[in-house]
Amino acid sequence: MAKYRKLGRTSSQRKALLRNQVTNLLYHGKIITTEAKAKEVQKIAEGLIALAVKEKDNFETVKVTAKVPRKDKDGKRVKEVKDGRKVTVYDEVEKEIKKDLPSRLHARRQMLRVLYPVTEVPRKNAGKKKNTKAVDMPAKMFDEIAPKYTDRKGGYTRIIKIGQRKGDAAMLVVLELV
């Protein structure tokens, strides 16, 4: 007897489908899918959220000095001539960064095995590559999702049945974060 649903797909297609749905669930907060897929996605998502809750405070803050290019009022890099060549001018800035402890780093890497990279596109530039930014999903899990569930001992998602799909009468459900 199998411990998971095969969903009528090959293993590579099934893994891709589940990774995609888990990523979308954690990014958007809810998805609409079939009941069988939702139950599989729920298993994976609950495990990732439990991992994030366990490791959310496992970091240390470190002060670092970094070289940052100086910019003018238009946002362009300031250049000066040295030895007949144009060279960018850098300023030294002190920053505070979060440094993961080994167990949190391992948890982050485990999440990255499942989650796809997410790119956020502003609404006014929909369909264009300008002003897009990559979303760090493990950071979102540790900073936004995990603090909501610190006092909870599981059951981070819920499945709500919404009826049958018109074409094939498959049961559709809303899978959402509680």
Q: Alpha-carbon dihedral of residues 147, 152, 155, 156, nearest 10 degrees?
A: -10
In angstroms, the CA 59 to CA 176 distance is 29
pTM of the model: 0.84
- Residue 65 tokens read as 């000095």
Span 70-81, pLDDT tens digits: 998 888 899 999
Give the side-chain half-sphere CA count within 13 A for 116: 15
Amino acid making up residue 9: R
Q: In this predicted structure, what is the pLDDT of residue 2?
A: 65
* Domains of the chain, start order: 11-57+102-177 (3.90.1030.10), 59-100 (no CATH)
Q: In this predicted structure, what is the pLDDT of residue 3?
A: 82
Lowest mean pLDDT among 40-44, 54-58, 82-86: 82-86
Residues 120-140 have a mean pLDDT of 83
Residues 32-60 have a mean pLDDT of 96
Of the pLDDT bands very low, low, confident and very high (cuts 50, 70, 90), residue 124 is: confident
Share of the chain above pLDDT 90, in %: 85
pLDDT at 125 over 80: no
In angstroms, the CA 103 to CA 60 distance is 12
Q: Do 17 and 41 form a contact (C-beta atoms < 8 A)?
A: no
Q: Please state, rounded to an integer, the average pLDDT across all residues of the chain.
A: 93
Span 131-161, pLDDT tens digits: 788 999 999 999 999 999 999 999 999 999 9
The residue behind tokens 């989650």 is 115
In angstroms, the CA 117 to CA 104 distance is 19
Q: Tell me which DSSP letter residue 142 carries.
A: I
Report long-range pairs for 114-120 (Cβ below 8 Å, ≥24 apart): 114/19, 114/22, 114/23, 114/44, 114/48, 115/19, 115/22, 115/23, 115/26, 115/48, 116/19, 116/20, 116/23, 118/23, 118/27
Q: In this predicted structure, what is the pLDDT of residue 130?
A: 74
Q: In this predicted structure, what is the pLDDT of residue 169?
A: 95
Q: In this predicted structure, what is the pLDDT of residue 9?
A: 96
